[in-house]
Chains A and B, each alone.
Chain A
Amino acid sequence: MEIANLTKKRIKDYLEAGKRFDGRDLLDHRELEIETGISINAEGSARVRLGKTEVVAGVKMDVSEPYTDHEGEGTMITTLELLPLSSEEFDYGPPKIDAIEIARIVDRGIRESGMIDFEKLCIKEGEKVWTIFIDVYTMNDDGNLLDASALAAIAALMTARMPKYDEEKEKVAFGEFTKDPLPITKNIPLTFTFHKIGKSIILDPGREEEAASEARVSIAMSSDGKEAKINAMQKGNEASLTQEEMFNIIDLAEKKYKDSSKEIFDRIEKNLKGKK
């Protein structure tokens, strides 16, 4: 989105005084809502709202051949569509770079954290393994689709159950589910995207703030209970960052992860229990 230079300057001035248009502090998120089990035909699904930004994610599974260099492991494919329904700026057609980038950052966070135990998704080594499809769709764009998408994807995975596999026909019995959850570990990634506007660093930008963003850094972190680790990062947008700014962002990410991870995971778990 293009915004007027005047608006950009106003946002910068506000931030330098430690203020935002909607009254939030610089590192505050908008109100967060997580709802799971939103589509009965999916193995797992979730809706995330950050203020007026809304995304939905679904998990579907199928059986396929493994990669030759990982014959005993299942596979995962993450896609994201910026639906024209969610913004007048999005068009139909094959996914463009904006959508591809978000999907890849979400994918890397999940893959590298070890959230999924891919070895347990092997049916017959070298021949048949489970493939997890994580499909994310935007429903309303009001900024920060990236963090919302990452959160919807992990919530859908955490609440997914394995489909039934027909051993005789060697096929998935579509529409029939087992009670087994996916092989999920404790290392569940949370993604925070920091934006640099002027000299300020903010989290969870609204649409106008996102348009004024000069540089952004996405950080996906997870923890095995002992130590928080960074699993995926991406520096985006045109402006450069000093090493000091980058160090600051890394420290902020660690603090944010420690402060908010328990609450976010509790909310997903609670939502799940409410459904049963």
Chain B
Amino acid sequence: MAYTKRPDGRKFDELREMKAKVGVVPRADGSALFAFGDTIAIAAVYGPKPLHPQHLQNPEKGVLRVNYDMLSFSVTERKKPGPSRRSQEISKVTEWALAPALQIDNFQNTVVDVHITILQANASTRCAGINAASLALAHAGIPMTDLVSAVSIGKIDDKIVTDLIKEEEDYEDGEGATDIPLAFLSKSGQLTLLQLDGKTSTKKLKEAIEAGRAACKEIYELQKKVLKEIQEK
């Protein structure tokens, strides 16, 4: 049977209800929460601060360091505490997704630490994490040329679908599910993250990237809105 209806009744290009809030971790230099429906990510930024051990320091520019992890009870089957191969890879690609927006070249020998924690998971956790981290970096006052917005686009059977949920990721009929997390520099539209697993034609992939760009424009509007609200306070 062809994929004609999403389990939660959304249109194919419709994002889940989003929530964004800055300042959720008072002790951090910057922090934010970002949610796509049931998926909730919290990011905290500490720095720029001297990087230890010293051999990791870069005398030419500041270093961005990202750590992503999920709480043990954020998923249905308890996740063992501590880093996994998955979380380490996500940390690294998140770092690459955020780095192009930052201007930390003048902070030689320092590090900007971004800690991302997933409180509750229903797919798209890395994208929610990137959106939260981008807000937290701006909230911390780290010089940035742009914000970063991220969304997960799927190809479910032959349909291009925005902001997947777990049930869609697990879809097996027809052509099955292909998951494509994407991140863009919000103003310039350049890509900073693209991962893919599944199977798709080149034509469908291009459609997916375009759908991702359209969704990220909406996410960017929300990110701008919550940042402007702190300015007004």
A residues engaging B (CB < 8 A)?
Answer: 38-43, 45, 52, 54, 56, 58-60, 62, 79, 81, 83-88, 92, 94, 133, 135, 137, 139-142, 174-175
Judge whether A56 and B25 touch: CB under 8 Å. Answer: no
Of B2-10, B73-81, B139-147, B191-199, the one with at least 4 CB within 8 A of chain A: B73-81
Judge whether B73 and A60 touch: CB under 8 Å. Answer: yes
> When each residue 99-131 of chain B gets 1 if its CB lies under 8 Å from chain A and 0 otherwise, what string results?
000000000000001011101110000000000
Please report the C-alpha to C-alpha distance between residue A88 and residue B31 in the assembled complex, in whole angstroms: 13
Judge whether A41 and B73 touch: CB under 8 Å. Answer: yes
Residues in chain A near residue B49, CB distance under 8 A: 88
Chain B proximity of A135: nearest CB distance (Å):
4
Residues in chain A near residue B113, CB distance under 8 A: 84
Residues in chain B near residue A79, CB distance under 8 A: 72, 81
Judge whether A58 and B73 touch: CB under 8 Å. Answer: yes
Please report the C-alpha to C-alpha distance between residue A135 and residue B71 in the assembled complex, in whole angstroms: 8
Judge whether A41 and B25 touch: CB under 8 Å. Answer: no
Judge whether B73 and A175 touch: CB under 8 Å. Answer: no
Size category, B interface: 20 to 34
Residues in chain A near residue B82, CB distance under 8 A: 94
Chain A proximity of B207: nearest CB distance (Å):
32
Given contacts A58-B71, A85-B44, A135-B72, whether A140 and B81 have CB atoms under 8 Å apart is no
Given contacts A39-B120, A40-B38, A84-B113, whether A139 and B25 have CB atoms under 8 Å apart is yes
Given contacts A39-B119, A60-B78, A84-B113, whether A139 and B73 have CB atoms under 8 Å apart is no
Residues in chain A near residue B76, CB distance under 8 A: 41, 174-175
Whether, in the assembled complex, B42 has its beta carbon less than 8 Å from a beta carbon of chain A, the answer is yes
Residues in chain B near residue A40, CB distance under 8 A: 38, 120
B residues engaging A (CB < 8 A)?
Answer: 24-28, 38, 42-44, 46, 49, 67, 71-78, 81-83, 113, 115-117, 119-121
Given contacts A58-B72, A59-B73, A137-B71, whether A85 and B78 have CB atoms under 8 Å apart is no
Please report the C-alpha to C-alpha distance between residue A42 and residue B77 in the assembled complex, in whole angstroms: 9
Please report the C-alpha to C-alpha distance between residue A175 and residue B75 in the assembled complex, in whole angstroms: 8
Judge whether B72 and A86 touch: CB under 8 Å. Answer: no
- Among B27, B77, B81, which residue has its beta carbon within 8 angstroms of that of A135? B81
Please report the C-alpha to C-alpha distance between residue A79 and residue B78 in the assembled complex, in whole angstroms: 13
Smallest CB gap from B75: residue in A: A41
Smallest CB gap from A156: residue in B: B73
A–B Cβ pairs within 8 angstroms, 26 of them: A39-B71, A39-B74, A40-B120, A41-B121, A42-B74, A45-B73, A56-B119, A62-B78, A83-B115, A83-B117, A84-B46, A85-B25, A85-B28, A85-B42, A86-B27, A88-B46, A88-B49, A92-B67, A133-B72, A135-B71, A135-B72, A139-B24, A140-B25, A140-B26, A174-B77, A175-B77
